[in-house]
Amino acid sequence: MPDMETPALTDAEMAERVRPLVNEILERFNEERLAPSEAGMVILALVHRLLGILAGTPEARRHFVLMMINMINNFLAGEMDTDQMKRPG
């Protein structure tokens, strides 16, 4: 993984930067015919590993956790456009 001290990107810049990778991962899930629950376990495992990596950078870890909490809260509140997550890059 790259250095955690790289300059911060806006959320929009970050989304644009990672969109191709997200699309590749989703394509791979489809190729592997993963069930949604299996894909969810992959995502949770990645989050767990990332939290371990971020342990040495408390501010970055805190920011990531807050972004996750905010995303989940928005989803539960019905404010998230799930189609936005599926748009091709």
Please say if the pLDDT value at position 24 is more than 70: yes
Any domain includes 83: no
Checking if the pLDDT of 31 tops 70, the result is yes
| 43 in any annotated domain | yes
**Which has more pLDDT, 49 or 14?**
49
Cα–Cα distances (Å) from 58 to 10, 19, 41, 53, 62, in that order, read 19, 25, 25, 10, 6
Mean pLDDT of 9-21: 89
In a domain, 45, yes or no: yes
- What percentage of the chain has pLDDT greater than the value 90? 65
Q: Is residue 89 part of a domain?
A: no
Counted domains in the chain? 1
pLDDT at 80: 65
Whether 55 shows a pLDDT value over 90: the answer reads yes
Select from 1, 26, 3 the least CA-distant residue to 86.
26
pTM for this structure? 0.69
